[in-house]
Structures are given as C-alpha cells and as structure tokens.
Amino acid sequence: MKCDIILAGVGGQGILTIAYLLDNAAVNRGLRFKQAEVHGMSQRGGAVYSHLRISDAEIISDLVPEGQADMILSVEPLEVQRYLPYLRPGGVVVSNVEPFKNIPDYPDDALVLDALARLPRAVLVDAAAIATSGKVPKAQNMAMVGAALPFLPFTLADFEPIVQGLFGRKGDHVVAGNMHVLRTGNAVGALTAALLDRGVTSQRAHQLTSGLDLASIDPAMADELAAQPR
C-alpha cells in the first residue's frame, strides 16, 4: 500500500495541521510516512505546500515524483494548478472552491473553478459552508481532510483521538465542532466519489452535490442523483 499526496494552499489555511492529522493517523495505523514541506509564509499570504508519502513499506525519498501523486489536496483552488504535473493518471484532486485572492491579478473565480471541474477526477468542496455548519468557521482545513478521506487509507475513527489531542484544551465543544466538520466533509467526499465511480463527470458531480442540504448528504444517494436528467 502506498499513498502519495501533495498538500497545497496559502499560508494561514492550516496546511501543516492537515499534515499533522494524516501523519499521526498513519503512525497510529502502523504505517510509515515521510514529509517535506515549505511553510512560514502566512504573513505574506504565500503558497504553502507539503509532500506527504504514506506506505506500509520502506519509503526512500520524502519527495513525490512528478506524475506519481495519488492526490492533490488543496485548500485554495488556484494552487491546484501549480501541482497538476505531479498527479498520476487516475489520481484525484480534492479542492476547496473558495479562492484566497492573495495576488492582484487573481483569475476570474468562474474560470478557476471551471478548470478544476474539467479534471477527470475532482472533488470540489465548499469548505467554508461545511466549517460553518459545525460552528467552527476557521476549520476549513478539517472539512478538506474529511472530503479526502474516501480516497485515503483511514476512517473517521482514526482522527477522533488526534482531534481530541489537538483541541481538547479548548473545550469539548471545539472538539465536537471539528469532528462534525470532518464527518460532514467526509459525507460530501464519499458522495462525490460514488458519483465519479458511476461515470458522472467532476463538473456534474459538483453540480449535483453543491445544492444539497449538508445535514442530509449520504453516499447512498449516488444512484438517484446520477440518474437525474441534466
């Protein structure tokens, strides 16, 4: 088993927290991991990324080779474009839909999202809405982890003790809120994955899932949604 991931976003979006969650989940499962990261640019709103490699066998390099990443997990939609050369054929992109406009010539939002929706396997996530549903509006990174889970060798239960360790000192309500965000993100990701597996395009899957009540999303809805006329 191996899972090579490129984590991407902008400084301040919690990319390193995502890496911490995945690293610890891997260790708790008895898996190996290596990680290489660029960070410390949050004050300038600069790009932040991390190479994360998880395996049940020895990992030689901490860098993901171009064309070998199983996933690009991005909290900022435009940042996906930087790392597409790393994605393997059949790999998945899991991206937030809300831009972080840190440059004066940021492209038109619709063009950015359209480029993502045209990818063969893309899960487009309204992380802000999911985080707000859990009353933890800053937890968009947790929403993204949840959405990526259907494509990772982990379950929600793997993250409960890690989230408790991260946020327990802030109170049970913060732990519960973050777990709610993880669960809701996971439901969105699992439903989208089921639609993609049924041959629905990334663009259509996003259209079908984006109008749903977050509290009612269930992967079992995939057949009904996939059969809907355009």
Q: Domain spans of the chain?
A: 2-226
Question: 70-88, pLDDT tens digit by residue?
Answer: 999 999 999 999 999 999 9
Quote the CA–CA distance of 18 and 76 in Å, as a whole number.
13
Q: Is the pLDDT of residue 226 over 60?
A: yes
Q: Per residue in 49-68, is it b (16+ CB within 10 Å) or e — as a string?
A: bbbbbbbeeebeeeebeeee
CATH class of 2-226: alpha beta
Q: Tell the burial category of 2 from Cβ atoms under 10 Å away from its Cβ (0-12, 13-18, 19+).
A: middle
Give me the pLDDT at residue 176, please.
Answer: 96
Question: 23-47, pLDDT tens digit by residue?
Answer: 999 999 999 999 987 655 555 567 8
Question: 88-146, pLDDT tens digit by residue?
Answer: 999 999 999 999 988 889 999 999 999 999 999 999 999 999 999 999 999 999 999 99
In contact, 116 and 124? CB cutoff 8 Å: yes
